[in-house]
Structure 1
Amino acid sequence: MLNSRQEQILKLLAQHPSLCTKELQQSLALTRARINQLIAPLIKQGLIKKEGKARATIYKLTDKRSNDQIRRENWKLRKKVGELQKALDDRRIIERAKEILIAQFDILPTEAYRKLQEQSMDSGRSMRDIAHSILSAYEL
């Protein structure tokens, strides 16, 4: 299992093809000794490779990634997709409610949106809830 600093090292190496210890020190604000402590397990696991010796050492990513890392990335991506899907669903409901307000009160889209915002703030409910209430009332 990787700690957050080790994940940061892997991210830095993913962004930059190769980094020396000094560059890692500057990016992470850690001592050379701490960088070496963090890197040793990553080398042992085969996640990064070490080229050169002493102060001329360069670190690069290997193609191997741990199952934990892949699982963690997949979980984060699934979570992000879920959040984006919810935001899109919210947006659709709000847009439909706006269309109803525009048609019913003959107002501009910006005014309809503002009315939804005001109602949301006044009632302490989310805009999605307000929009859903409008859709429910309109469907009756």
Structure 2
Amino acid sequence: MDNLLEVRDLKTQFFTETGVVRAVDGVSMTLRRGEVLGVVGESGCGKSVTALSIMQLIDNPGRIVEGQVLFDDEDLLKVSDETMRSIRGNRISMIFQQPQSCLNPVFRIGQQLSEVLGIHQGMGREAGEKRAVELLEMVG
């Protein structure tokens, strides 16, 4: 199959003292290899919670209550924490809404990417910098 990511009927809820908040209520989407997908919507509509759910980063009182997240045909909602940690940052990542709060403006983006590649991929400085340039060229 040529699908890289398939999200099927994803539902994430937050169980609070005042009731249940349905933050993500039946989201489905497909991303094919080589495609770029932008998720847009009003503030508070569930974009970030959807992405955090895909990456298994929902904190209490939140919980994914239904759905499938297939990444390379593997259901991320069923993998172990250890497997998910190896996938996160290596094979799937998230650029947060306010990247200026995550990226240090003192250092070039390429330097920061190469540092992440060094940590997650075990690349040396030179190899990390080369790969960072390749990745940046891919996204324009």
TM-score (norm 2): 0.21
Q: Which has the higher helix share?
A: 1
Q: Which structure: greater strand fraction? A: 2
What TM-score results when the alignment is normalised by the length of structure 1? 0.21
Q: Which has the higher contact order (CA 8 A, sep 6+)?
A: 2
User: Which has more radius of gyration?
Assistant: 1
